[in-house]
Amino acid sequence: MNITVYLGAYEGDDPTLREAVKELGRWIGESGNCLVYGGSKSGLMGVLAESVIASGGEAIGVEPAFFVEQEVQYEKLTQLIVTRDMTERKAKMVELGDAFIAMPGGTGTLEEISEIMSKVSMKHLSAPCIIYNHNGFYNGLKQLLDKMLEQGLSTEERQKGICLAESIDDIIRLLN
């Protein structure tokens, strides 16, 4: 399975997050699945790709040309797909993905997983959409999703397929 992972180009201040990213990467590599991600060597993105490759797995990076020109791509990728821009990049990552995971990240991560959440809720995509709530990182998003239900702006049926995971083991269970 191709597992598209969205995560930060920075490592952040929580050292346990780096370890969780490495654990996910090891599982992807050892399980015979393939990583699809933004292609960068920076931050958590680089940690994830390195972990997948070191565990014998494959990693497909999808980067817009302007990032390749800045030489931020991870050098040991199984495949690098270069797109014209971020819009094409996002579409390619969705096209390649069989499952989608958001690790903690910045505004780009939020934008990307929001698009997946929307596609899942409208039944335009029937793939797991997993949000990794590492150390409560996505508690605010969970509260927002609950508030949408409480105020009648969404339904359980619409949010079916959008899962919050509290551990890497939860993620693995949701994907198996």
Model pLDDT for residues 129-149, shown as the tens digit of each residue: 999 999 999 999 999 999 999
Q: What is the mean pLDDT of residues 93-97?
A: 97
Structure tokens at 104: 């903690």
The pTM assigned to this predicted structure is 0.94
Structure tokens at 125: 């995509």
Contact between 42 and 10 under an 8 Å Cβ cutoff? The reply is yes
Q: Say how far apart CA 141 and CA 4 lie, in whole Å.
A: 20
DSSP state of 124: S
Q: Which CATH class is domain 2-175?
A: alpha beta
Q: Say how far apart CA 9 and CA 13 lie, in whole Å.
A: 13
Q: What is the mean pLDDT of residues 78-97?
A: 95
Residue 90: pLDDT over 90: yes
Q: Where are the domains of the chain?
A: 2-175
Helical spans, DSSP H, in 32-85: 43-54, 65-69
The residues near 153 (Cβ < 8 Å, ≥ 6 apart) are 147
Percentage of residues in the chain having pLDDT higher than 90: 89
Closest CA to 121 of 163, 165, 174, 162: 162
Strand order in the sheet with 99-102: 79-83, 58-64, 34-37, 2-6, 99-102, 129-132, 162-165
Structure tokens at 80: 């690098």
DSSP element (H, E) containing 99: strand 99-102
Q: Which residue has the higher pLDDT, 126 or 73?
A: 126
pLDDT at 73: 74
pLDDT bin (cut points 50, 70, 90) of residue 5 is very high
Residue 68: pLDDT over 80: no
How many helices (H) does the chain have, and how many strands (E)?
A: 8, 7
Neighbours of 56 (CB within 10 A): 10
Closest CA to 16 of 40, 51, 41, 44: 44
pLDDT at 32: 96
Residue 99: pLDDT over 80: yes
